Amino acid sequence: MLKPKKKITKKEIRRDPFLESIDKAQAHISESRTTYMKVALGLIAVLIGYNVITEKRSQKNLDANAALGKAMVALDRGDVNNAQFQLETVITEFNGTPSAELAGYHLGKLKYEAGDHTGAEIFLSQFLKDQTVDIMVSAAALMLADISVQDGDTNTALSFLENGILKSRDVHTHRMIELEKAKLILAQGDNEAARTIATDILSEKNVTAIQKQAAEEILGKIPG
């Protein structure tokens, strides 16, 4: 018989900061800020190149790509206020374009990091729904789950994690979200389900050191 779920207290959340796992999940995207920005700018270059080669994109898309590029350069320079303004401009003026959807992710992330969880949830939820860029789906799901955990809504948090698991195309990020799910259900008292997830991940090939450590920590918290 399954044990009744227990409410997760803020004290328990502080002992196991969810934000640390978000950083770990995003580690494969970039080993440094510079690498991350190169990936983002590279994606923009691919979009522009595709537009030119196929000639199927409108001038609106080209302008949106250029505007997003300016926002990413500002973000790379640490000019957060300017970056936020540029991202908002892309979303407002180029709504419906891939660049606008990508801008929504970055704006949501900025708001999340600034502690504006209401604003972050609006943009990140929309990005998760649009799912333009697979590589960022896991980070969006984790941030949304963290917001729900802080609000005391673990069921919604689990829903976001399940969504992230379904939409993750990368094995690494898929495992990281699975591990976050295991942590959450363990905190609810479902030891066996958490044990199964951690054990299954440890049995897989090419498990990273971070994933192995996280899985072992989960097993270490399970009695018996």
Q: Is the pLDDT at 3 greater than 70, yes or no?
A: no
Model confidence at 37, pLDDT cuts 50, 70, 90, reads: low
DSSP 58-111: -HHHHHHHHHHHHHHHHHHTT-HHHHHHHHHHHHHHTTTSHHHHHHHHHHHHHH
Model confidence at 1, pLDDT cuts 50, 70, 90, reads: very low
Q: What is the pLDDT of residues 114-149, one digit of tens each?
A: 999 999 999 999 998 876 566 788 889 999 999 999
- Domain annotation covers residue 223: no
Give the per-residue pLDDT at 95. 87
Average pLDDT of the chain, as a whole number: 80
Give the per-residue pLDDT at 136. 81
Q: Is the pLDDT at 172 greater than 80, yes or no?
A: yes
Structure tokens at 52: 């030119």
- Domain annotation covers residue 224: no
For residues 29 and 139, is the Cβ–Cβ distance under 8 A?
yes
Q: Is the pLDDT at 52 greater than 70, yes or no?
A: no
- Domain annotation covers residue 128: yes
Q: What is the pLDDT of residues 105-114, one digit of tens each?
A: 999 999 999 9
- Domain annotation covers residue 46: yes
Q: What is the pLDDT of residues 85-103, one digit of tens each?
A: 999 999 999 988 888 989 9
Give the residue numbers spanning the domain of 128. Answer: 14-218
Give the per-residue pLDDT at 47. 65
**Nearest Cα residue to 163 out of 215, 125, 123, 191:** 125
- Domain annotation covers residue 153: yes
pTM here is 0.71
Q: Which residue has the higher pLDDT, 38 or 214?
A: 214
Give the per-residue pLDDT at 61. 79
- Domain annotation covers residue 9: no
Give the per-residue pLDDT at 39. 60
Q: How many domains does the chain have?
A: 1
- Domain annotation covers residue 6: no
CATH code, domain with 150: 1.25.40.10
Give the per-residue pLDDT at 167. 82
End-to-end CA distance of the chain: 17
- Domain annotation covers residue 7: no
For residues 108 and 123, is the Cβ–Cβ distance under 8 A?
yes
